[in-house]
A and B are shown apart, each in its own frame.
Chain A
């Protein structure tokens, strides 16, 4: 009998199926994974440290660059934390605009996930369909905020500007066309035998394990836990909207796929509800110490000019204290924990990244399975390294 020993192989950091610069060290017994060790940090930019040197307004653009597929959601988590710290109320119209934009962003983020995940497993067609629809959302973002990937649309106290003329029609067209596109995706995958063979009973994580590992978002719901931050701790007016939380049962790759597809449909309906019920009114809170004055006032009125200068250069000073606010981002619970010492800069800004904790459970999902399943498991937890490494 010949001697057998484990083989160690290195997957990444440059590998098309690791969704960024993730490195996995896999110890293999034949084709079976005995041990998997993720190595992260290749994209570490020190966002938490940078935030300590910036005023509260200046941090917003940094948050866009965490999970760059879900910029609106990141903005929202941060501004909610600062608003909680300040104790200011946001006008209803701004809340609805935030919901509308973050839900469109969720669809866009899930579309990237679906395209790349299917591409990893070998279904290339879908990627082109997904990017076609995502382009429509990015065009809407560009008109609304001026930016596509990093819109920085939200402001502390509201949103940067009201909707431009004619955009409602474009959002409406998207919302109406999207269910048809969903059917196209589903015909390609949901009952496709190859897809089922690659995803069913693969990368399983049980309910108890998922909770213990701190997994959130669609990955947690795929394991059958009916939990969503939008329902558990409603923010930004989510209590006004009707939607359901889709869940899986087994906790395999297919369940996570199915949950995300249903989530896109619900997101689409939330956008529709927000559009139908969009209230009239201001889009920024009336708090002159925090909110920048309108640009036309800055150019015509000396008091507004001084106010603008003061807020832009010095910022504002929130009370001493600490708050945590979180949102249901496309990957899971994204939270910001801000400690203020009463100065114009945060003493500490901690980002609770969903992908970081979801990825930490990856070895649990793949140990004991085949090497080909690693690719579908990574795709199914939908990681973005910009958020993991921060």
Chain B
């Protein structure tokens, strides 16, 4: 099932080194792509006339602490033409940056800002990389596994600087 997925097949034909791993669970296909190739793979999937993954449904981060590389950035693509979802993943080490796909899908603009805000993964070539849910000057990235659920300051009074 995994091997006959049309997008996987096409990607293999184009550049076999752009696929690290293909897995399938409950009928969903996950393709792991090296970080350096993610932009090219996304552009290929967007522009290829047979695939046309025109919608970026979701983009999020996952923290696999204490594994290395620590983070994964997950892209969920949807094609109106084939009514198919495809999940791409790329692994990012702590302190490294990922590559923005904002120039392909505008939807990535806010989604990447959110990953930057909550995981601290910067995105190269992003036009407007700022925190989105938390305020400027906030310290830490709450969705990292080493960040306490209550927050580091939950029993201290919060007095903003005026």
Q: Chain A: residues with CB nearer than 8 A to chain B?
A: 40-41, 44, 46, 48-50, 52-53, 84-85, 87, 209, 211-214, 225, 227, 232, 321-324, 326, 333, 335, 337, 339, 347-348, 350, 352, 356-357, 360-361, 364, 389-390
Cα(A48)–Cα(B63), bound, Å: 12
Indicate whether A50 sits within 8 Å of B107 (C-beta atoms), given known contacts A41-B134, A335-B57, A350-B60: no
Residue of B64, B80, B83, B132 with most partner-chain A CB within 10 A = B132
Indicate whether A41 sits within 8 Å of B135 (C-beta atoms), given known contacts A214-B105, A337-B76: yes
Cα(A337)–Cα(B58), bound, Å: 9
Q: Is B74 an interface residue (CB 8 A)?
A: yes
Residue of B74, B87, B106, B111 with most partner-chain A CB within 10 A = B106
Name the B residues within 8 Å of A337 (CB-CB).
58, 60, 74, 76
Q: Tell me how far the C-beta of A238 lies from the nearest C-beta in chain B, rounded to whole angstroms.
A: 15
Q: Do A360 and B30 have beta carbons less than 8 Å apart?
A: no
Q: Do A352 and B54 have beta carbons less than 8 Å apart?
A: no
Q: Do A352 and B57 have beta carbons less than 8 Å apart?
A: yes
Name the B residues within 8 Å of A52 (CB-CB).
149
Q: Tell me how far the C-beta of A349 lies from the nearest C-beta in chain B, rounded to whole angstroms.
A: 10
Q: Do A389 and B133 have beta carbons less than 8 Å apart?
A: yes
Query: What would be 26 A-B contacts, judged by CB atoms less than 8 Å apart?
Result: A48-B118, A49-B147, A49-B149, A50-B149, A53-B149, A84-B26, A209-B106, A211-B54, A211-B55, A212-B107, A213-B105, A214-B56, A214-B105, A227-B80, A321-B26, A322-B30, A323-B28, A324-B85, A326-B57, A335-B57, A347-B62, A352-B58, A357-B110, A360-B106, A364-B106, A389-B133
Name the interface residues of B13-57: CB closer than 8 Å to any CB of A. 25-26, 28, 30, 54-57
Cα(A48)–Cα(B143), bound, Å: 8
Q: Tell me how far the C-beta of B21 lies from the nearest C-beta in chain A, rounded to whole angstroms.
A: 13
Q: Do B76 and A323 have beta carbons less than 8 Å apart?
A: no
Q: Do A41 and B26 have beta carbons less than 8 Å apart?
A: no
Name the B residues within 8 Å of A212 (CB-CB).
54-55, 105-107
Q: Do B63 and A348 have beta carbons less than 8 Å apart?
A: yes
Q: Do A324 and B107 have beta carbons less than 8 Å apart?
A: no
Q: Tell me how far the C-beta of B8 lies from the nearest C-beta in chain A, rounded to whole angstroms.
A: 17
Q: Chain B: residues with CB nearer than 8 A to chain A?
A: 25-26, 28, 30, 54-58, 60, 62-64, 74, 76, 80, 83, 85, 87, 105-107, 109-111, 118, 131-135, 142-143, 147, 149
Name the A residues within 8 Å of B80 (CB-CB).
211, 225, 227
Q: Tell me how far the C-beta of B33 lies from the nearest C-beta in chain A, rounded to whole angstroms.
A: 16
Q: Do A335 and B58 have beta carbons less than 8 Å apart?
A: yes
Cα(A68)–Cα(B74), bound, Å: 27
Residue of A46, A209, A227, A364 with most partner-chain B CB within 10 A = A46
Cα(A40)–Cα(B109), bound, Å: 14
Name the A residues within 8 Å of B118 (CB-CB).
48
Residue of A at shortest CB range from B113? A360
List of 9 A-B pairs having minimum Cβ-Cβ separation, nearest first: A214-B107, A41-B133, A321-B25, A360-B110, A350-B60, A352-B58, A44-B133, A213-B106, A348-B62
Name the A residues within 8 Å of B106 (CB-CB).
209, 212-214, 360-361, 364
Cα(A275)–Cα(B116), bound, Å: 46
Q: Do B133 and A232 have beta carbons less than 8 Å apart?
A: no
Q: Do B83 and A213 have beta carbons less than 8 Å apart?
A: no
Name the A residues within 8 Å of B147 (CB-CB).
49
Name the B residues within 8 Å of A364 (CB-CB).
106
Cα(A197)–Cα(B135), bound, Å: 38
Cα(A389)–Cα(B117), bound, Å: 12
Name the A residues within 8 Å of B83 (CB-CB).
232
Cα(A350)–Cα(B143), bound, Å: 11
Cα(A379)–Cα(B135), bound, Å: 25
Cα(A85)–Cα(B26), bound, Å: 7
Cα(A41)–Cα(B63), bound, Å: 22
Residue of A at shortest CB range from B63? A348
Cα(A364)–Cα(B110), bound, Å: 13
Q: Tell me how far the C-beta of B73 lies from the nearest C-beta in chain A, rounded to whole angstroms.
A: 12
Residue of A at shortest CB range from B138? A41
Q: Tell me how far the C-beta of B16 lies from the nearest C-beta in chain A, rounded to whole angstroms.
A: 24
Identify 10 new A-B residue pairs, CB closer than 8 A, beyond the known A211-B54, A324-B28, A364-B106. Answer: A85-B26, A212-B54, A212-B55, A225-B80, A323-B28, A335-B57, A348-B63, A350-B62, A352-B60, A357-B111
Name the A residues within 8 Å of B131 (CB-CB).
41
The one of A40, A322, A333, A348 that contacts B57, using a Cβ cutoff of 8 Å: A333
Q: Tell me how far the C-beta of A80 lies from the nearest C-beta in chain B, rounded to whole angstroms.
A: 12
Name the B residues within 8 Å of A48 (CB-CB).
118, 143
Cα(A280)–Cα(B56), bound, Å: 40
Residue of A at shortest CB range from B87? A324
Cα(A257)–Cα(B135), bound, Å: 34
Residue of A at shortest CB range from B55? A211
Name the A residues within 8 Å of B58 (CB-CB).
324, 335, 337, 350, 352
Name the A residues within 8 Å of B135 (CB-CB).
41
Q: Do B132 and A40 have beta carbons less than 8 Å apart?
A: yes
